[in-house]
């Protein structure tokens, strides 16, 4: 099996090229498929010839059957069975090829996503990526399984049919040969128009999809405003817009199909009329022999539609190619994102972290700085509050300290030793980070807490208690085995956040980074939670909390970030 | 029959003009295709036989068959184009209606007890609903055309060579009835499994990409990637099994058709030898059979396509709630002097919980002052709000609105949803408000300076990637919506979370001045925001 590498795919100039490269993975299967296709055409030609001979013999010499006839019947039956069985092998090979290609594409994309890490978020939404790696890549099945092999057969099969027709005479193959180039010519013209319409259609589809998912998510806002009927109308309008643009594409796509249909029908008509007049001796042209038997007529008439058959099949697969190429464009956009360059050797932080110093640390995305450089110390046993208006870079600072983003300048020191924390596994094992939007997998609470590592139920409940979430888990239908769903099921935003917090406690970090942990808690719970944090700090942990709320006395240090001047730091 | 399937056929009936045109054209196309082959076959056989004698060749009228052949090839071509356009047009129209009607069904229901899975719902209405097109497009049309063509074929054969027709009845019945049934049995099952597995695959992908930070930090990114690859492989295998099953049935069909060809040839030649059949007709019968087989091949998946569309509609139908919710709140005469909310013995228990969240609550609320719910989480603040708004129905007790109507209750939920659209759309939500009104509302919640710095002010598109309001800004947007709606009863669930205390105080003061003579209930964790004459409402 051939392999594709990410670097070759990145160099593709467009989606089409990417598809061609990816198609090469299944080169071997495609070769076999071509072989089987040729075999099938050969069988068709032989079957036609046998039909022609048998009928011819019966019509002209109504004598007793010649001895060769019995073997002709046997051969005919055998060939018919062979032709019926061949598609099974073809399907199996084609499926194997297509699964191969899609598996490798998925692997390459996932590998690249692992390199890109948080850089992904800047360019793609999670829904977009989820669709890309499920329905979009899956939808290229028809392209790799059917379109690619058929593309080669669309050249070979007509050639074989033409050669077979040469057995009788030269005019029919000539007619076929002359009409053949017209087909791709028209199809290119139509296809060009259709591709444009197809892109417009895809835009309409995306719009409709976004509108639907957005309005269903926000259905309660519309219900509260009593305006669901109006929204139904606007959804209907968008749906109708999509119908119009789809019909535009189909009008063109069907046109190319109709064109092939036309050539196929007209070739039968032409061959029939030509042969009829030839039999009636109206003219003598285009045949090798002077007196023409019926067998030639039967042979030519039956083969004429077969000439266009592979092209018609290819035309029917037109949509597969259009779909695949838009998926490929999407893939290419993702693959061409550059990961943040890998950093050199990763230092291991000291066994006991006493102090973390930020030295003129400038955070930001890519080259865009967010906020001002910050210098401060986070000490063992202390809780630090990070505050400031939204957009000033609190979350970015936490992301950076978690080693998820590289700092633009400045450095971080642990116990006076500078350390590169970006993407540093050893560092990340030592911290616990709870983000503003609680991140939970569509899985049981247990799995969400353990994330594939082993913990006893007792440990889990300890962590849940610390996060003020034990009661809430007990009230759920299946307690620890309750499955979190996409819409959260019975979990509210605040509850999901507390589960995420329990996970942070469970893995016993040295440094806790908490983004707005109390935003969804009531006074009582917030106070109990702060008490828990103080316990954690007293046991030798370091805590950094970001919050909108006003500074209160229980913090050891408050860092007030501001957009246009350097941070104010006050100590308790 | 599921409600939605019924509705589908009702809608199809409304499009009956286009739908029957499609069916008619499809029939014409199929018959012209078969006839084109047959007439051409007869024509060359007849000319070949006539060509043997000079006299017969001279007297042969070749104009009529030539014209028929040309006519048939043209009607086949244009019939096909027209058929495709008409059938697609008809079915897409039905789907547009079905989609928006289904949205309306979802919107009539309150989803507080059993949350709606929004991804599932939207993918059903976007993609799954397109499977419904196969009911007409790939089931009814090809199925009917197949049956009709087969009958005509049999009649034609019986006309020329009755014994052959008898021979053909069995294989034809097999192709037209047994094969579609077999197809249905073999293909539908793996197809449904495939559908479920693809859903799981999406779920795994979504888990991966919406948990990036967690997965990176816990070093589980590659683990989750592997989970996704595995679920994709499982689905791929099922996909392969489905196409294998389909192909096996096809092969059986192909074998029967090969047998049919041999039968026609054998019986034809026998008939020729016995003088029952003219020599010119053997080839015609053979081509007639070949033409029919093309039609049968497309028709053999009709039943499976029908079942596929049926199942899809069933799945979509499952989205709509099983039981109808009846609003139990009472609304009494608008002429009453004083507007009041009277709550008596209210009790509510979530379906999954053992204990009641609210029990034995009685209170009378009026316009004299604001009511504050400040009890801790889990004591049913939000539940009470939702009961008052009619989003939940109590198991016991009564909520009576004196002198009020259902559409006079305004609520700001805890989670304010931002809809994709301009700031103007997010404020108006299909109501008509003037710019002045919008700016005034924005000013009240101190969003005016934020809105002014947006590139296109009120017409700026809000949403992920462009201008995403922060948590506090979103809360204030929710308040602005409520100000614009201007209703006599106002329910505010955590309106100040994420807004700093000073600003919250300023905004609430403005609202106190604005919302006089109204019933206002507010739930909050911040007791310090309460004004002097506000009242506590304990649960």
Q: In this predicted structure, what is the pLDDT of residue A429? A: 78
Query: What integer is the mean pLDDT of B12-32?
Result: 93
Q: Which CATH superfamily includes the segment(s) A6-212+250-335?
A: ABC transporter type 1, transmembrane domain (1.20.1560.10)
Residue A391 has pLDDT above 70, yes or no: no
Q: In this predicted structure, what is the pLDDT of residue A551? A: 46
pLDDT per position as a tens digit, A200-222: 887 888 888 888 888 888 888 88
Q: Calculate the alpha carbon distances from A50 to B62, B254, B261 in Å.
A: 28, 19, 12
Helices (H) and strands (E) in chain A, counts: 22, 10
Between A526 and B128, the more confident residue is B128
| Phi-psi domain of B83 (left: phi exceeds 0; alpha: psi -120 through 50; beta: other) | alpha
- Whichever domain contains B200, its CATH number is 1.20.1560.10
What are phi and psi for residue A551, nearest 5 degrees?
Answer: -65, 135
- Domain boundary among the residues B272, B293, B319 is at B319
SS3 A572: coil
Mean pLDDT score across all residues of chain B: 85
Chain B CB contacts of A239 below 8 Å: 95-96, 99-100
Q: In this predicted structure, what is the pLDDT of residue A422? A: 81
Contact between B212 and A117 (Cβ < 8 Å): yes
Give the N- to C-terminal CA distance of chain A in Å, as an integer: 66
Chain A CB contacts of B119 below 8 Å: 127, 213, 486
Contact between B122 and A216 (Cβ < 8 Å): yes
Name the minimum distance, in Å, from the CA of A105 to any CA of chain B: 11
Q: In this predicted structure, what is the pLDDT of residue B85? A: 93
Residue B88 has pLDDT above 80, yes or no: yes
Contact between A450 and A517 (Cβ < 8 Å): no
Query: What integer is the mean pLDDT of B503-527?
Result: 84
Question: What is the H or E stretch that residue A212 is in?
Answer: helix A182-217
Distance CA A554, CA A536 (A): 14
Distance CA B195, CA A447 (A): 25
Any idea which of A50-54, A84-88, A340-344, B228-232 has the lowest mean pLDDT? Answer: A340-344
**Is the same domain home to B313 and B336?**
no
Give the N- to C-terminal CA distance of chain B in Å, as an integer: 47
Strands (DSSP E) along A96-222, which ranges?
Answer: none
pLDDT per position as a tens digit, B323-334: 777 888 888 876
pLDDT per position as a tens digit, A121-177: 777 777 788 888 888 898 889 899 989 888 889 889 999 999 999 888 888 888 888
Residue A352 has pLDDT above 60, yes or no: yes
Any idea which of A7-11, A568-572, B371-375, B505-509 has the lowest mean pLDDT? Answer: A568-572
Residue B24 has pLDDT above 90, yes or no: yes
Q: Calculate the alpha carbon distances from A523 to A288, A502, A518, B208, B474 in Å.
A: 101, 19, 9, 34, 22
Residue B230 has pLDDT above 50, yes or no: yes
Residue A486 has pLDDT above 60, yes or no: no
Task: Provide DSSP, A259-324.
Answer: HHHHHHHHHHHHHHHHHHHHHTTS---SBSSSSPPHHHHHHHHHHHHHHHHHHHHHHHTHHHHHHH
Query: What integer is the mean pLDDT of A230-252?
Result: 89
SS3 A147: helix
* Alpha-carbon torsion (B424, B428, B429, B430), positive or negative: negative
- Domain boundary among the residues B264, B298, B319 is at B319
Any idea which of A444-458, B7-21, B143-157, B264-278 has the lowest mean pLDDT? Answer: A444-458
User: Does the distance separating the beta carbons of A441 and B104 come in below 8 Å?
Assistant: no
ipTM above 0.90, yes or no: no
Which residues 435-464 of B have a C-beta within 8 angstroms of A?
A: 464
Which residues 30-89 of A have a C-beta within 8 angstroms of B?
A: 51, 54-55, 58-59, 62, 73, 76-77, 80-81, 83-85, 87-88
Residue A40 has pLDDT above 90, yes or no: yes
Chain B CB contacts of A125 below 8 Å: 464-465
User: Does the distance separating the beta carbons of A110 and B244 come in below 8 Å?
Assistant: no
Q: In this predicted structure, what is the pLDDT of residue A533? A: 80
B325 part of a folded domain:
no
What are phi and psi for residue B261, nearest 5 degrees?
Answer: -60, -45
User: Does the distance separating the beta carbons of B353 and A58 come in below 8 Å?
Assistant: no
pLDDT per position as a tens digit, A261-319: 888 888 888 888 888 888 887 777 777 777 778 888 889 888 988 888 888 888 778 77
Which residues 485-514 of A have a C-beta within 8 angstroms of B?
A: 485-490, 492-494, 500, 503, 507
**Is the same domain home to B416 and B365?**
yes
Query: What integer is the mean pLDDT of A98-120?
Result: 86
Q: How confident is the model at residue A62 (pLDDT cuts 50, 70, 90)?
A: low
Residue A421 has pLDDT above 60, yes or no: yes
Closest CA to A323 of A461, A82, A139: A139
Distance CA A345, CA A384 (A): 30
Q: Give residue limits of the domains in chain A.
A: 6-212+250-335, 355-571
Between B266 and A338, the more confident residue is B266
Q: In this predicted structure, what is the pLDDT of residue B229? A: 92
Which range scores top for mean pLDDT: B122-131, B360-369, B433-442?
B433-442
User: Does the distance separating the beta carbons of B69 and A272 come in below 8 Å?
Assistant: yes
Residue B457 has pLDDT above 60, yes or no: yes
Query: What integer is the mean pLDDT of B76-88?
Result: 92
Between A62 and B523, the more confident residue is B523
pLDDT per position as a tens digit, B33-67: 999 989 998 988 888 888 777 777 777 787 888 88
B324 part of a folded domain:
no
Any idea which of A34-38, A427-431, B132-136, B168-172 has the lowest mean pLDDT? Answer: A427-431
| Phi-psi domain of A506 (left: phi exceeds 0; alpha: psi -120 through 50; beta: other) | alpha
Name the minimum distance, in Å, from the CA of A440 to any CA of chain B: 7
Mean pLDDT score across all residues of chain A: 81
Task: Provide DSSP, B415-431.
Answer: SPPPPSEEHHHHHHTT-
Chain B CB contacts of A102 below 8 Å: 232, 236
User: Does the distance separating the beta carbons of B269 and A55 come in below 8 Å?
Assistant: yes
**Is the same domain home to B135 and B108?**
yes
Q: How confident is the model at residue A553 (pLDDT cuts 50, 70, 90)?
A: low
- Whichever domain contains B473, its CATH number is 3.40.50.300
Which residues 392-451 of A have a C-beta within 8 angstroms of B?
A: 399, 402, 404, 425, 428-429, 431, 433, 435, 439-443, 451
Which of A73, A97, A234, A265 to mutate against chain B (most B CBs within 10 Å)?
A265
Which range scores top for mean pLDDT: A89-93, A494-498, A539-543?
A89-93
Burial of A57-69, coded b for 16+ CB within 10 Å and e otherwise, reads: bbbeeeeeeeeee
pLDDT per position as a tens digit, B192-224: 899 889 888 888 888 888 888 888 888 788 888
Domain of residue B408: give its range: 330-536
B510 part of a folded domain:
yes
* A217 inside 8 A of chain B by CB: yes
Distance CA A118, CA A109 (A): 15
- Domain boundary among the residues B273, B289, B319 is at B319
How many structural domains compose chain B?
A: 2
Architecture per CATH, A355-571:
3-Layer(aba) Sandwich (3.40)
Burial of A502-525, coded b for 16+ CB within 10 Å and e otherwise, reads: bbbbbbebbbbbbbbbbbbbbbeb
* B15 inside 8 A of chain A by CB: no
Contact between A473 and A440 (Cβ < 8 Å): no
Q: Calculate the alpha carbon distances from B150 to A72, A277, B180, B273, B296 in Å.
A: 29, 32, 14, 27, 8
Residue B144 has pLDDT above 70, yes or no: yes
Contact between A310 and A44 (Cβ < 8 Å): no
Q: In this predicted structure, what is the pLDDT of residue A276? A: 86
Distance CA B268, CA A299 (A): 18
Residue B311: half-sphere exposure toward Cβ, Cα within 13 Å: 14
* A257 inside 8 A of chain B by CB: yes
Which of A444, A451, A525 to mutate against chain B (most B CBs within 10 Å)?
A451
**Is the same domain home to B428 and B403?**
yes
Q: How confident is the model at residue B141 (pLDDT cuts 50, 70, 90)?
A: very high
**Count of beta carbons in the 10 Å neighbourhood of residue A293:** 18
Q: In this predicted structure, what is the pLDDT of residue A268? A: 84
Contact between A387 and A371 (Cβ < 8 Å): no
Name the minimum distance, in Å, from the CA of A64 to any CA of chain B: 9
**Count of beta carbons in the 10 Å neighbourhood of residue A212:** 23
Distance CA A372, CA A548 (A): 19
What are phi and psi for residue A124, nearest 5 degrees?
Answer: -130, 140
User: Does the distance separating the beta carbons of B415 and A225 come in below 8 Å?
Assistant: no
**Is the same domain home to B295 and B440?**
no
Distance CA A139, CA A128 (A): 15
Distance CA A244, CA A252 (A): 13
A127, A280, A500 member nearest B50 (Cβ): A280
Q: Calculate the alpha carbon distances from B10 to B31, B89, B98 in Å.
A: 29, 16, 10
* A297 inside 8 A of chain B by CB: yes
Residue A17 has pLDDT above 90, yes or no: no
Contact between B88 and A183 (Cβ < 8 Å): no
Question: What is the H or E stretch that residue B523 is in?
Answer: strand B519-523
**Is the same domain home to B165 and B287?**
yes
């Amino acid at each position: 099996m051939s392999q594709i590498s990410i670097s070759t795919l990145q160099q593709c100039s467009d989606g089409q090229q990417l598809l061609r490269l990816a198609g090469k993975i299944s080169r071997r299967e495609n070769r076999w498929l071509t072989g089987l296709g040729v075999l099938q055409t050969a069988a068709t030609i032989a079957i036609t010839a046998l039909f022609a001979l048998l009928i011819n013999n019966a019509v002209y010499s109504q004598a007793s059957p010649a001895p060769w006839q019995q073997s002709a019947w046997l051969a005919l039956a055998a060939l018919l069975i062979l032709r019926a069985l061949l598609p099974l092998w073809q399907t199996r090979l084609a499926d194997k090829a297509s699964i191969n290609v899609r598996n490798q594409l998925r692997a390459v994309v996932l590998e690249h996503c692992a390199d890109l890490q948080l850089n992904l978020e800047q360019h793609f939404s999670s829904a977009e990526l989820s669709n890309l790696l499920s329905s979009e890549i899956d939808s290229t099945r028809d392209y790799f399984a059917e379109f690619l092999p058929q593309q080669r057969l669309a050249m070979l099969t007509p050639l074989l049919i033409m050669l077979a027709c040469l057995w009788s005479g030269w005019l029919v193959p000539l007619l076929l040969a002359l009409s053949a180039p017209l087909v791709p010519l028209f199809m290119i013209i139509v296809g060009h128009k259709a591709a444009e319409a197809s892109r417009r259609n895809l835009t309409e589809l995306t719009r409709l999809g976004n509108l639907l998912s957005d309005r269903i998510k926000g259905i309660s806002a519309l219900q509260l405003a009593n305006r669901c009927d109006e929204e139904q109308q606007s959804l209907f309008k968008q749906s109708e817009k999509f119908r119009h643009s789809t019909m535009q594409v189909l009008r063109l796509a069907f046109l190319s199909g109709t064109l092939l249909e036309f050539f196929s029908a007209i070739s039968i008509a032409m061959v029939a009329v030509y042969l009829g007049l030839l039999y009636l001796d109206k003219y003598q042209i285009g045949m090798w022999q002077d007196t023409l038997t019926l067998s030639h007529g039967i042979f030519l008439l039956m083969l004429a539609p077969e000439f266009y058959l592979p092209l018609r099949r290819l035309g029917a697969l037109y949509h597969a190619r259009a779909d695949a190429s838009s998926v490929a464009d999407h893939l290419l956009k993702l693959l061409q994102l550059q990961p943040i360059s890998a950093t050199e050797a990763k230092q291991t932080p000291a066994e006991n972290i006493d102090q973390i110093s930020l030295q003129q640390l400038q955070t930001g995305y890519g080259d865009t700085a967010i906020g001002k450089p910050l210098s401060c110390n986070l000490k063992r046993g202390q809780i630090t509050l990070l505050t400031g208006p939204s957009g000033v870079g609190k979350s970015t600072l936490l992301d950076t300290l978690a080693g998820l983003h590289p700092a633009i300048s400045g450095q971080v020191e642990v116990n006076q030793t500078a350390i590169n924390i970006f993407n540093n596994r050893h560092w990340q094992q030592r911290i616990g980070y709870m983000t503003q939007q609680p991140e939970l997998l569509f899985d049981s609470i247990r799995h969400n807490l353990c994330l594939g590592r082993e913990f006893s139920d007792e440990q889990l409940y300890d962590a849940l208690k610390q996060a003020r979430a034990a009661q809430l888990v007990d009230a759920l239908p299946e307690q620890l085995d309750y499955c979190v769903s996409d819409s959260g099921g019975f979990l509210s935003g605040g509850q999901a956040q507390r589960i995420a917090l329990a996970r942070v406690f469970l893995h016993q970090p040295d440094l806790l980074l908490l983004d707005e942990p109390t935003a969804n808690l009531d006074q009582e719970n917030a106070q109990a939670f702060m008490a828990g944090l103080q316990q954690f700090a007293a046991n030798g942990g370091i805590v950094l909390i970001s919050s909108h709320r006003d500074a209160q006395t229980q913090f050891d240090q408050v860092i007030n970030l501001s957009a246009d001047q350097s941070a104010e730091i006050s100590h308790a | 029959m599921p409600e939605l399937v019924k509705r589908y056929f009702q809608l199809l009936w409304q499009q009956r003009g286009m739908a029957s045109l499609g069916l008619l054209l499809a029939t014409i196309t199929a018959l012209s295709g078969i006839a084109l082959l047959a007439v051409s076959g007869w024509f060359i056989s007849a000319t070949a036989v006539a060509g043997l004698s000079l006299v017969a060749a001279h007297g042969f009228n070749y104009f009529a068959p030539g014209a028929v052949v040309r006519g048939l090839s043209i009607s086949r071509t244009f019939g096909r184009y027209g058929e495709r356009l008409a059938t697609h047009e008809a079915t897409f129209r039905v789907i547009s209606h079905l989609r928006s009607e289904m949205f309306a069904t979802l919107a009539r229901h309150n989803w507080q007890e059993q949350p709606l899975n929004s991804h599932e719902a939207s993918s059903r209405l976007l993609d799954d609903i397109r499977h419904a097109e196969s009911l007409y497009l790939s089931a009814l049309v090809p199925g009917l055309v197949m049956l009709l063509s087969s009958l005509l074929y049999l009649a034609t054969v019986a006309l020329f060579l009755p014994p052959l027709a008898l021979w053909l009845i069995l294989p034809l019945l097999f192709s037209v009835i047994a094969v579609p049934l077999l197809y249905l049995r073999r293909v539908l099952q793996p197809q449904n499994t495939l559908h479920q597995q693809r859903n799981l695959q999406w779920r795994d992908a979504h888990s991966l990409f919406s948990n990036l930070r967690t997965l990176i930090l816990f070093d589980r990114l590659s683990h989750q990637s592997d989970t996704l690859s595995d679920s994709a492989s499982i689905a791929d295998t099922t996909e392969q099994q489905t196409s294998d099953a389909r192909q096996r049935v096809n092969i059986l069909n192909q074998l029967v058709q090969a047998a049919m060809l041999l039968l026609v040839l054998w019986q034809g030649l026998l008939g020729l030898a016995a003088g029952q059949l003219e020599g010119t007709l053997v080839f015609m019968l053979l081509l007639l059979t070949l033409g029919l087989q093309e039609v049968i091949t497309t028709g053999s998946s009709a039943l499976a396509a029908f079942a596929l569309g049926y199942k899809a509609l069933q799945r979509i139908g499952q989205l709509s709630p099983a039981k109808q919710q009846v609003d139990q709140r009472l609304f009494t005469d608008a002429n009453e002097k004083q507007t009041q909310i009277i709550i008596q013995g209210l009790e509510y228990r979530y379906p999954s919980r053992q204990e009641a969240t609210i029990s034995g609550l009685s209170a009378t609320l009026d316009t004299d002052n604001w009511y504050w719910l400040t009890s801790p989480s889990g004591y049913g603040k939000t539940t009470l709000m939702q009961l008052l708004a009619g989003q939940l129905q109590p198991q016991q007790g009564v909520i009576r609105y004196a002198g009020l109507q259902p559409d006079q209750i305004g609520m700001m939920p805890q989670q304010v949803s931002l809809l994709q659209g301009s700031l103007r759309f997010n404020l108006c939500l299909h109501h008509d408000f003037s710019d002045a009104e919008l700016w005034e509302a924005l000013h009240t919640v101190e969003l005016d300076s934020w809105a002014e710095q947006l590139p296109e002010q009120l017409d700026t598109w809000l949403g992920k990637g462009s201008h995403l309001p922060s948590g506090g800004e979103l809360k204030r947007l929710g308040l602005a919506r409520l100000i614009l709606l201007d209703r006599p009863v106002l329910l505010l669930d955590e309106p100040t979370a994420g807004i700093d205390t000073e600003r919250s105080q300023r905004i609430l003061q403005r609202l106190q001045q604005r919302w006089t003579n109204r019933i206002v209930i507010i739930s909050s964790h911040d007791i310090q925001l309460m004004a002097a004459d506000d009242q506590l409402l304990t649960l």
